[in-house]
């Protein structure tokens, strides 16, 4: 058996050879060429001409080497390298192209960039890609697994037998690749790896796969990336101005699986196509500017809500395939809605088919679990200091923004990334090189992430869910910041919800909770978030958290929403809250849409719609959201009355807006509030309006100022401030 040593032969038939392309396929000079084919279970192998019909010769089966066929072939065939094979076994006969007659797909530049951790389009070279290679259609598979001794792609196409299609090693890059002729989109596959210790690992899903099987199945699915023709060029050209800090940004946060279900079909969730119609139309009608989706990267466990992803490059199959997800994106843009997705680079689960111990070593995670394990979530932490891992994550961010026209990334759990001692007791964490608690590698990663995505994808936004006082989260990286566009204002959310949960009789003792946020409101570009985290884990719905009986609960919630929309900062509201969802959010069931048959719930929905419209219409409510020049206290210390009043200004300071909130159940008649301008102040929002389910008390549409000084201002308004209400006035001149 020319050219194959006994040890190599044994490694081949056992599926343990690290370099199968050095043995299998055609080898030798054309006039003495030898063809070697390994198909376990086959007992006959015939070499066919390129037409797949004409027999050229048979290859003998090597004695004592099951499935290994080796024999000479004609010089003409060896020169053309154009042939097919016919295998016969007890299970049947089939004709196929030999993967080992094809050269590599990856080029030297790809190898260099991958090795340097600098390949910005990593998803274009790794993963599974249908293509035509050397004139033949098939799928190219490529995977990074530097410590594996052997990697094979497996699927129905090779009976899930890792001995059949071991891949080509690209040496120092750690990449393995193979072109599989005859395969196409829709093929289910995984990778079988032999680790550094020689043990066969559990089958792994493709970290770069663009599709997945329906859970609980865990296979990857070949999907095409280039089949979509985009029709959103107008949106893409204009979106940069829509995401800027001087524009109205009001975000509707959605969990796609529980927004609305189809009870007639087993309570299934809506598909991407259905959501493109129903969800988009609903959010547009309510006047939000953006939709934010809780994680849609593929994940195995429904109860994680997507925050423990396994397939970072695959839109979850729960609602349809990749192409249908793009239809949802395009529907948003056609309706002038931006689409933000929750992106999770902070951790990943230990599921056997995922990234954990991917090649038998801690490849994506840290080896030391004091650095690489999250005790809160039982998940692993990415090793941000490893350039290939950082490249993997940054490329993933670019993938969503470029390939799917996503308008923004809300980065989950940033606080857990920034600090090595996050949720850890002394002795359970490893200090940085300077002995501190900051995760320097994660900080560097986040800065590079923002530099890259803002540099390469015009008009997008990044948002940090960051709950600490880490400085400069939304400051430019060249000024020492992390470079995010926006930061969630968790302090405002915690303080204001704490205040609102108090019985009104006690609120005067907690007045500072509603004013303290203005001490730091302009230190970052803030978003005010009332997110899914505030309506789960026993917290109840927002309505549940309001004190009092039914009518008072609704009045409190309406007043709170008015306070929020009048407060500096962009807005985010979780689904269901816009119509005062009655119970706590449950990811297993639909929102309580039936509640909209009741006037109070309809009223809250109408209020949110009107608040969004006013927020868009009045520059004073959004133009200087992140600048102190846009805000001025009028009544900051009226704690006995639980009244708050402030002014909002636009850049021109010609159309100020007055916001007044009363968080007691006491009507304040003839209450004088100082204003800077003489003239008519139109009452644009009154949360006590009959239209919203309130008592209908107010100021008959507006108030003329008087030349009576109050609150340190030369003019004042004499107002009726309804109980548990927020009023928003717009100055309309003399």
Kindly list the catalytic residues: 412, 465
Q: Is 318 left (phi over 0), alpha (psi -120 to 50) or beta?
A: alpha
At which residue do the structure tokens 């099951």 appear?
66
Other CB atoms within a 10 A radius of the CB of residue 383 amount to 21
**SS3 readout for 573-627:** EECCHHHCCCCCCCCCCCCCHHHHHCHHHHHHHHHHHHHHHHHHHCHHHCCCCCC
How far is the C-alpha of 468 from the C-alpha of 379, rounded, in Å?
A: 21
Residue 170 sits at the vertex; the CA angle it makes with 165 and 175, to the nearest 5 degrees, is: 75
List, in sequence order, every residue forming a beta bridge with 252; answer none if it has no partner: 291, 573
Exposure class string for 15-40: b at 16+ Cβ within 10 A, else e? bbbeebbebbbbbeeeeebbbbbbbe
Other CB atoms within a 10 A radius of the CB of residue 48 amount to 18
Other CB atoms within a 10 A radius of the CB of residue 186 amount to 12
How far is the C-alpha of 689 from the C-alpha of 697, rounded, in Å?
A: 7
CA 732 from chain centre, in angstroms, equals: 43
How far is the C-alpha of 397 from the C-alpha of 188, rounded, in Å?
A: 25
How far is the C-alpha of 16 from the C-alpha of 12, rounded, in Å?
A: 6
How far is the C-alpha of 310 from the C-alpha of 205, rounded, in Å?
A: 8
List, in sequence order, every residue forming a beta bridge with 189; answer none if it has no partner: 155, 220
Q: Which of 367, 364, 330, 331 is nearest to 348 (CA)?
A: 364
Q: Which of 132, 152, 116, 144 is nearest to 21 (CA)?
A: 152
Six token digits for residue 17: 């050879």
* Spatial contact of 223 and 322, defined as CB atoms under 8 Å apart: yes
**SS3 readout for 489-546:** CHHHHHHHHHHHCCCHHHHHHHCHHHHHHHHCCCCCCEEEEECHHHHCCCCCCCCCCC
How far is the C-alpha of 40 from the C-alpha of 71, rounded, in Å?
A: 17
Count of residues making up the chain: 734
Six token digits for residue 646: 């402030």
Helix, strand, coil in percent for the chain, rounding step 5: 30, 25, 45
**SS3 readout for 84-151:** EEEEEECCEEEEECCHHHCCCCCCHHHHHHHHHCCCCCHHHCCEEEEEEECCEEEEEEEEECCCCCEE
DSSP state of 649: -
Mapped onto helix, strand or coil, the DSSP state of residue 411 is strand
Sheet holding 42-48, edge to edge: 55-59, 42-48, 84-89, 92-96
Query: E-assigned strands of 406-451?
Result: 408-411
Q: Parallel, antiparallel, or unpaired for β 373-374 and 379-380?
A: antiparallel
Six token digits for residue 386: 């490893």
Per-residue CA distances from 347 to 40, 69, 119, 216, 413 (Å): 40, 46, 22, 21, 9
How far is the C-alpha of 408 from the C-alpha of 186, rounded, in Å?
A: 29
433 preceded by a cis bond (ω within 30 of 0): no
* Spatial contact of 4 and 70, defined as CB atoms under 8 Å apart: yes
């Amino acid at each position: 058996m020319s050219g194959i040593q006994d040890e190599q032969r044994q490694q081949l038939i056992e599926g343990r050879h690290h370099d199968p392309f050095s043995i299998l396929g055609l080898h030798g000079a054309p006039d003495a060429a030898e063809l070697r084919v390994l198909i376990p279970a086959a007992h006959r192998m015939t070499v066919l001409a390129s037409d797949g019909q004409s027999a050229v010769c048979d290859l003998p089966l090597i004695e004592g080497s099951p499935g290994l066929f080796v024999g000479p072939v004609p010089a003409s065939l060896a020169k053309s390298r154009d042939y097919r094979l016919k295998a016969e076994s007890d299970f049947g006969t089939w004709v196929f192209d030999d993967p080992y007659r094809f050269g590599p797909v990856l080029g030297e530049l790809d190898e260099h960039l991958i090795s340097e951790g600098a390949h910005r389009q990593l998803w274009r070279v790794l993963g599974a890609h249908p293509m035509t290679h050397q004139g033949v259609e098939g799928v190219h598979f490529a995977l990074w697994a530097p410590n594996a001794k052997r990697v094979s792609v497996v699927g129905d196409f090779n009976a899930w037998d890792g001995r059949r299609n071991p891949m080509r090693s690209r040496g120092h890059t750690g990449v393995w690749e193979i072109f599989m002729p005859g395969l196409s989109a829709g093929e289910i596959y995984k990778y079988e790896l032999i680790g550094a210790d020689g043990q066969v690992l559990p089958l792994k899903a493709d970290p770069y796969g663009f599709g997945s099987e329906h859970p609980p199945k865990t296979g990857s699915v070949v999907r095409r990336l280039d089949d979509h023709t985009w029709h959103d060029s107008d949106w893409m050209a204009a979106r940069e101005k829509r995401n800027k800090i001087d524009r109205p940004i009001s975000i509707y946060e959605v969990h796609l699986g529980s927004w609305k279900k189809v009870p007639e079909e087993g309570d299934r969730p809506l598909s991407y196509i259905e959501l493109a119609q129903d969800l988009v139309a609903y959010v547009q009608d309510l006047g939000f500017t953006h939709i934010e989706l809780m994680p849609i990267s593929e994940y195995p466990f429904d109860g994680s809500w997507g925050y423990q992803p396994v397939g970072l490059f695959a839109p979850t199959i729960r609602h349809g395939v990749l192409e249908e997800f793009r239809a949802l994106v395009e529907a948003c843009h056609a309706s002038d809605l931006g689409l933000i997705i929750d992106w999770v680079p902070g951790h990943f689960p230990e599921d056997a088919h995922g990234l954990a111990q991917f090649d038998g070593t801690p490849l994506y995670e840290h080896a030391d679990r004091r650095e690489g394990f999250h005790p809160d979530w039982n998940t692993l932490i990415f090793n941000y200091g490893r350039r290939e891992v950082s490249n993997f994550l940054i490329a993933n961010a670019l993938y969503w923004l470029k390939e799917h026209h996503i308008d923004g990334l809300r980065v989950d759990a940033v606080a857990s990334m920034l600090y090595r001692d996050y949720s850890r007791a002394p002795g359970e964490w490893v200090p940085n090189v300077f002995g501190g608690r900051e995760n320097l590698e994660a900080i560097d990663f986040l800065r590079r992430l923002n530099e890259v995505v803002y540099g390469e994808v015009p008009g997008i936004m990044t948002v940090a869910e960051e709950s600490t006082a880490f400085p400069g989260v939304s400051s430019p990286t060249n000024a020492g910041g992390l470079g995010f566009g926006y930061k969630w204002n968790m302090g405002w959310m915690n303080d204001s919800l704490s205040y609102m949960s108090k019985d009104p009789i006690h609120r005067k003792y907690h007045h500072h909770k509603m004013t303290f946020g203005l001490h730091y409101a302009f230190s970052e570009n803030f978003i005010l978030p009332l997110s899914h985290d505030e309506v789960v884990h026993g917290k109840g719905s927002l309505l549940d958290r309001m004190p009092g009986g039914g009518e008072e609960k609704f009045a409190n919630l309406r007043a709170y929403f008015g306070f929020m929309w009048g407060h500096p900062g962009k807005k985010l509201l979780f689904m269901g809250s816009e119509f005062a969802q009655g119970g706590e959010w449950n990811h297993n069931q639909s929102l309580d849409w039936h509640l909209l048959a009741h006037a109070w719930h309809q009223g809250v929905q109408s209020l949110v719609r009107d608040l969004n419209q006013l927020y868009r219409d009045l520059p004073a409510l959004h133009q200087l959201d992140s600048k102190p020049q846009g805000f001025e206290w009028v009544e900051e210390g009226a704690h006995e009355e639980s009244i708050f009043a402030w002014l909002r200004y636009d850049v021109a300071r010609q159309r100020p807006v007055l916001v007044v909130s009363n968080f007691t159940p006491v009507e304040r008649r003839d209450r004088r509030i100082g204003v800077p301008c003489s003239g008519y102040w139109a009452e644009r929002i009154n949360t006590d309006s009959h239209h919203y389910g309130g008592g209908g008390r107010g100021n008959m549409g507006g108030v003329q100022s008087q030349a009576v000084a109050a609150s340190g201002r030369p003019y004042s308004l004499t107002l009726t401030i309804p109980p548990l209400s927020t009023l928003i006035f717009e100055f309309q001149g003399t």
